[in-house]
Structure 1
């Protein structure tokens, strides 16, 4: 039976509508899919501990509960530490607000002196800018509150995923044909290994960067150095974008709390050194990235993740695309997409090689054609 070949424009249109429909479904079901995605990553991370407990004669349900409780204990300790630092920051908020008002007044005078823009126009411009950013702030707050509201679903989802692990794995094996079982097993094994190594390495990197940030800010005398250092380390988990926001916070704090600009310059130099150490020493040695995603794709998917699911989407985008690359690399029709996501840059493109082959003369042509004098 002959297979009907559809025109290219028709296939492209169908694929485009399929992508639009998929994005719409992901956005509409974000409240359900976001905690489920985090639970899948957490389940993959806790699976070795739960399996180890079961191998040592601990029943299935208690082993899962022990794994979840240990994670909740560590998370609660971190939240308590951050909340204590934030409470100390709140006590100094009135003084910081007063100092920030003086800085704004001096800035208005400097703008009027050098650019001739009076105070009324500056205030009107700032007011219009703030009014335009209200929608963005509102979306960010909705995302944060929504994330906090579904955090309670993550342990439930994680428990269910670990409890029904064998059922899910059997489904994945049975849904594909028997000749593809070896390929499915390879994809599942590499996905589990890549996600586990990535998350564990990312957490270790966060601790190391938090210590380096805090020590640098303490030496420079920046207030709330530990809080800013930890926040900077958490933001550093967002590829390329988080580092820019992380360095802006201590600079703003130094501007409000200190006179002159030497501290701000010191913060910039210190954070640049820390970023260099992180990118060239800590990240390659600590974070075992088995699947390399190139910088262009990383930036694009982080921005797309933010547009789709907000802050949660920014954290989920990189491991999600890493899993996609593992799948693409093992399906013949999708291998070019896997290469596009990857970090292996070829020295020559295929078009150049094809052009050289087309222009290469055969031996008979070289014999027949006369040599140029």
Structure 2
């Protein structure tokens, strides 16, 4: 397929394509992806720290204006954030501890429902002869008791990795805040003197994109968390604020998070309440809230800061998930918006910004000239291969 694509491309532009050069470009691309995968333990904390430093920078500057030195200002900004997050975690931890006491009841009800469903299917289809429901329940209990040890071990190892990544993110955020002037100066020195002003504008635009994106995400989490909690409280679900804000936090994960966040309270309602109307009411409520969030809140609060079209957003999420998992799904979307900002600063790269951005009529009329210019440049480049 790649061969036919290159052949059509060669015929269209009427240039001589050097296939070794093309192979080198493709190999380099795959090598970069391999580096992203291999170096993910260090690149993921650095990426999160970069975004967090964008939002903590105004707070650190306020501390500096109050007379605190740069290192102390960075430390106070990070500690303030940790205290706020720690307070929220403490409030939710009390509800989590209360829920753990009900886990045995959940486990027994899950086993009972699964055994009854399996026995009913077997009685109608005769998959396994002489299958008794009590025997099946005993086997399920034994299997759960045997697998609980490995589950605890996996949870412990996953928690240890998360804590290590969190500590690394805090350290990198602190370093980004105290060494930001040196980083800016080093970045600008890569450009000729006459283009250093353009480089500074581009750097500030990238910073504003990351900062506005994070602020928008935080606002969405707070608004949706309050709406979810009030709705669950009206329905009568236990621990409404825990489930409401958990669903709002999971909604940060594009496309997948909203479904996962709604599934957890629905399953809890199904396992806890005898009436089927309770989980149905929770499902309908979360569906309605998701419609409002997707069509009104996110486009106004977050979408306006990114200005990335749906195709580019979906591709960035898929690539991010394949490279860095859930962290990549969260990080690659704002990084795609930052890439758009970089491409807008260069005439030869403006077509890429057009492909990534929201393609309205005005953008097309402005960038179509740059698109033609880029095609000529590409043709000249291939003719030299």
> CA–CA distance in 2 between the matches of 1:56 and 1:210?
34
Q: Does 1:93 align with 2:93?
A: no
Shift of 1:340: 1.9
Q: Does 1:342 align with 2:357?
A: yes
TM-score by length of 2: 0.78
Report Cα offsets for 1:309-341 as digits up to 9, x if no partner. Answer: 222222212111111111122222322222222
Shift of 1:59: 1.9
RMSD: 3.1
May I ask how many residue pairs the two structures share in their alignment?
Answer: 336
Q: Does 1:213 align with 2:228?
A: yes
Change (3 A) 1:222 1:113: farther
Name which of 30, 53, 56 aligns with 2:63.
53
Name which of 284, 297, 308 aligns with 1:293.
308
Q: Does 1:36 align with 2:62?
A: no
Name which of 248, 251, 259 aligns with 2:266.
251
Determine if contact 1:291/1:326 at 8 Å carries over to the other structure: no
TM-score by length of 1: 0.81
Judge which range, 42-51 or 212-221, deviates more.
212-221
Give the structure 2 partner of residue 357 of structure 1: none
Unpaired stretches in structure 2, ≥5 consecutive residues: 1-14, 145-149, 369-385
Determine if contact 1:291/1:325 at 8 Å carries over to the other structure: no
**Secondary structure of the residue that 1:175 maps to in structure 2?**
coil
> CA–CA distance in 2 between the matches of 1:145 and 1:263?
37
Name which of 277, 297, 315 aligns with 2:330.
315
For 1:110-125, list aligned pairs within 5 A: 110-112=120-122, 116-118=126-128
Shift of 1:241: 1.5
> CA–CA distance in 1 between the matches of 2:38 and 2:157?
15
Unpaired stretches in structure 1, ≥5 consecutive residues: 354-373
> CA–CA distance in 1 between the matches of 2:302 and 2:247?
18
**Secondary structure of the residue that 1:287 maps to in structure 2?**
helix
Change (3 A) 1:142 1:289: farther
Give the structure 2 partner of residue 147 of structure 1: 162
> CA–CA distance in 2 between the matches of 1:163 and 1:68?
12
Q: Does 1:306 align with 2:310?
A: no
Shift of 1:307: 2.5
> CA–CA distance in 2 between the matches of 1:82 and 1:8?
60
Name which of 182, 185, 191 aligns with 1:176.
191
Report Cα offsets for 1:179-231 as digits up to 9, x if no partner. Answer: 32232122111111111111011111101111111222222223333222121
Determine if contact 1:43/1:161 at 8 Å carries over to the other structure: yes
Determine if contact 2:266/2:279 at 8 Å carries over to the other structure: yes
